[in-house]
Chains A and B, each alone.
Chain A
Amino acid sequence: MADLFENYPSGRAWDEMFDADGKTRPSYETVFAAIRTLEADDLKGRAEILGRTFLNQGITFALGGVERPFPLDLIPRIITAAEWRVVELGVAQRVRALEKFLADAYGPGQIFRDGVVPRRLLTTSEHFKRQVFGMSAQDGARIVISGVDLIRDEEGTFRVLEDNVRIPSGVSYVLENRQAVSQILPEAIGDQVVRPVEDYPARMLAALRAVAPWGVADPTVVVLTPGVYNSAYFEHTLLAREMGVELVEGRDLICRNNQVFVRTTAREMPVHVIYRRVDDDFLDPVQFRGDSLLGSPGLVNAARAGNVTLANAVGNGIADDKLIYTYVPDIIRYYLAEEPIIPNVDTYRLEETDAREYALAHLAELVVKPVDGSGGKGIVIGSQADAKTLATARDAILENPRGWIAQREVALSTVPTLIGDKLRPRHVDLRPFAVNDGNKVWVLPGGLTRVALPEGELVVNSSQGGGSKDTWVLDAGSAPLEPVVIQPSTKFQPDLPLSGPDSGGSFRAQQGQQQQGTLAAGPDLDPTPTTEAPTC
């Protein structure tokens, strides 16, 4: 074994490169062969070149006001074509289901009446926006851009950790990482066919144009950024540049008579689709926080009038609430009549008395998370926390049980990562990005693999100082893939009215269902459950 891999430990977690006996997995053979010929200094030298290039080009992440290069580890993370097929279908399935859930939750509310999800979860969610209740113009395209965080458990099964259907970030690093790794470590790719990620901006622009308001032949798309001090500002510029659209700030926009314009040097130009990277609360000072300087007054009314499409829609936060997360498997069964393709992580709802008592008794073995947190904030990992932290967590839970969930501590899968001058296993997750144009959900082959650099650290968020890896999805080539069997679910079907829960939805939503049947391999809201397992 090459020096770099000397004493590579194997642990409880699933290692992506080596199996339990220390043998290299077939998909990693090329990479392993390429790396074992390298000296540690060579690899380190390349990593330094990479860091400098990133810094010079300003490919950075602002952490506490200081810009730092987003650390990229050169060893790629590899997903085989068969594994990816599951991820791809599973992510698309979740997006389709959450899309229907949002349309239902801000509309007829059938799912609450049928008792699948308690209505109080909606009304007590901080992200529930009454201002957009009953707004149906965007049904089918409320979640245009999403990222679903996946982890791999000890058996190698992908599980969903959380959904991000508000403003998922990180896709720019997917694009930059691929470019950097193919320039700096070209020998690792060898003769494998890795599926490209470069067409993401084009796909995204096509989707944004597709969800434009009715009757606009040539929609103008803009990217709305909070400004240069936002931690993901680099990503906003990259997406605008690659899509060839304007990057605007709130002060560039004017709303007049429910139309949105952008100030240019010559005139006021109408805008039809806003890919906004500004949070709901700051988007429209008329509807939300009155002191916000980041948005533009009148945006929500313009969207309600159907003159502008906000991507993603306002109020999506109710669907990626961590408490709703525990209901997502049922949400999928309810709307799609399918069994979830990717399971959740075992989760306890702390507002339920039994679960709470169990969780409080076993705090030291569980992971406790705030339901509306993001960026890894507020997470308490029982096995690593001291007595004082646990006591604080206990008090917080007792004070507001609705605010917390507890999960089994999953040992995230590991990938060899350059630490010092040795390769060491470090925990990773995966955020695939999905683009939904209202008819079809496309999942970018790859996604952001985030890696926790400290030893044993399980929180991989970039706002916690994590790094990233390039993610390769191998092309299946001519070899036929094992079909993914989607199990039909009959759990809620008998109670459904014949026309389905969102029959009141817009024409567009129905059109979307028509299309999805051909795409996504599953009976899509078919009122009579099929017994035959559909395949793709």
Chain B
Amino acid sequence: MLSRIAESLYWMGRHVERADCTARILDTYLHLLPTSAVHADNHVIRGLVDAMGITTDAPKDTEQLIRTLVFDGEQSFSVAGALIAARDNARGVRDVVPLDVWECLNVTWHGLRTRSTTSAGPHAFLRWVGERCAIASGLIDHVMSHDEGWHFLAVGRALERTDMTIRLLAALDTGPGSIPPWRALVSATGGWEPYVRAHGRSIGQPSATEFVLLDRHFPRSILRSMTAAENSLAELESVGAASMQDPRRDPSSARRIVGRARTGLDYRTGSENDEELGALLTTLQRAVASTHVAITKSFFRQGDAVTWAHQSTVGGVA
């Protein structure tokens, strides 16, 4: 598999997941904005902005927030921007992704122009994005061959999902709002119903954190996402082992980083969370970042110098 194609698939996975997660998060939080108490906006907005990691040009009010995080095609952290980036990546690998997957992302991209200008409000748009992402993920899982390329896509998706959930958890500490923040947290991951079913008798801050961080069945929990990333990286490693190896690369480095972090979560109990959550999240976030670097180094780029042949160009060398 070409390195460039692997990289595009990886980013395609990340961007589709980013659009999906961001849409779900925004849909949850924008609902929480009390329509009457305008001054209360700032709190929720700050929470969202923190979650997305936007450092410059923080939005001041709801409208600006929506413009920046939903419709701004220039920013890859916005919903529209992530979808545009996903389509651009798919376009570069059109010969290897199934036509259905490409068509889905392309239709979504065409839809952005018409949808984003309608007055139906962000909710309708975000729901539509959610549906489009679901179609894309469904096609990726059920139409695309689960070969090397698919695993790159799956790693990207799993890492992005982990990253988004960590951000959500990290933003949780920003204080009380009109709705309990833990409730918003679970809703924003899309896991409210399974959460209530599992922890119906003890809903509250501790069990919500435990659910999002450690649940073994919910596909968007951090533990589950990291396990998915680890599994796909293991597949990629064994594919690489079958063919000739390049000594300059270490295809297992990424899996070691994810595996270590995942093991830490695996043998953890919910009651441990309270004391050191901040430190844990920082560690996890760092693990995700270094996994990304390791993948890039070992699969995508080989910054080797070009060597020139010192052969005569006259007559040719057969």
Contacts and interface: CB of A to CB of B under 8 A. Distances in A.
Interface of A: 55-58, 134-135, 137, 214, 227-228, 233-234, 237-238, 240-241, 246-249, 251-252, 254-258, 262-268, 297-298, 301, 304-306
Interface string B102-117: 1100110010000000
Nearest to A135: B316
A237 B107 contact: no
Interface in B137-181: 148, 152
B1 A264 contact: yes
Contacts of B106: 56-58
A266 B313 contact: no
B3 interface: yes
Nearest 3 interchain pairs by C-beta: A237-B94, A241-B95, A240-B95
Interface string B232-255: 000010011001111000000000
Interface stretch (B23-31, B36-44, B194-202, B304-312): B304-312
A258 B317 contact: yes
Interface string B284-318: 00000000000000011010101111010110111
Contacts of B107: 56
B311 A266 contact: no
A57 B103 contact: yes
Contacts of B103: 56-58
Given A56-B107, A258-B317, A266-B246, A251 B4 contact: yes
Given A58-B91, A248-B2, A265-B1, A306 B317 contact: yes
26 contacts: A56-B107, A57-B99, A57-B103, A57-B106, A58-B91, A58-B103, A135-B316, A228-B88, A233-B91, A241-B96, A247-B95, A252-B4, A254-B304, A255-B306, A256-B309, A257-B309, A258-B317, A262-B2, A263-B3, A265-B1, A265-B3, A266-B244, A267-B245, A304-B313, A304-B316, A305-B311
Nearest to B105: A58
B204 interface: no
A55 B110 contact: yes
B85 to A, nearest CB: 12
A247 B96 CA distance: 9
Given A56-B103, A305-B318, 7 more contacts: A257-B307, A257-B309, A258-B309, A264-B1, A265-B2, A265-B299, A305-B317
A256 B307 contact: yes
B284 to A, nearest CB: 26
Contacts of B244: 266-267
B6 interface: yes
A246 B93 CA distance: 10
B264 interface: no
Contacts of A233: 91
A81 to B, nearest CB: 34
Nearest to B102: A58
A109 B99 CA distance: 49
A297 B110 contact: no
B34 interface: no
- Candidate in B4, B92, B95, B313 with the most chain A CB atoms within 10 angstroms: B95
A298 B318 CA distance: 16
B313 A228 contact: no
